Homo-oligomer: A and B are copies of this chain.
Amino acid sequence: MRTVTIKEDIVSRNNERARDVRALLRAKNVFYINLMSSPGAGKTTLLTKLIPLLLKRYRVGVIEADIDSDKDAVTIERETGVRTIQMHTGGACHITCQMSEEALGALGVDGLDVIFLENIGNLVCPAEFDTGANMNLVLLSVPEGDDKPLKYPLMFEVATAVAVTKLDVLPIFDFDRERAAKNILRRNENAELFFTCARTGEGIRELTDYLLNKIQDSIHH
A residues in contact (CB < 8 Å) with B: 1-8, 10, 38-40, 66-71, 73-74, 77, 84-93, 96, 98-99, 102-103, 106, 120-125, 128, 141, 143-145, 147-148, 150-154, 166, 169, 172
Contacts and interface: CB of A to CB of B under 8 A. Distances in A.
Among the interface residues A66, A73, A91, which one has the most CB atoms of the partner chain B within 10 A? A91
14 contacts: A1-B85, A2-B85, A4-B86, A4-B102, A4-B106, A39-B123, A67-B151, A68-B150, A69-B147, A91-B128, A120-B124, A122-B123, A122-B125, A143-B169
Contacts of A128: 91
A123 B93 CA distance: 9
A181 to B, nearest CB: 17
Given A38-B39, A40-B143, A143-B143, A89 B8 contact: yes
A85 B1 CA distance: 5
A4 B68 contact: no
Contacts of A66: 151
Contact of A90 (B8, B74, B169): B8
Contacts of A151: 39, 66-69, 71, 121
A168 to B, nearest CB: 8
Given A7-B90, A89-B6, A90-B5, A68 B153 contact: yes
A150 B71 contact: yes
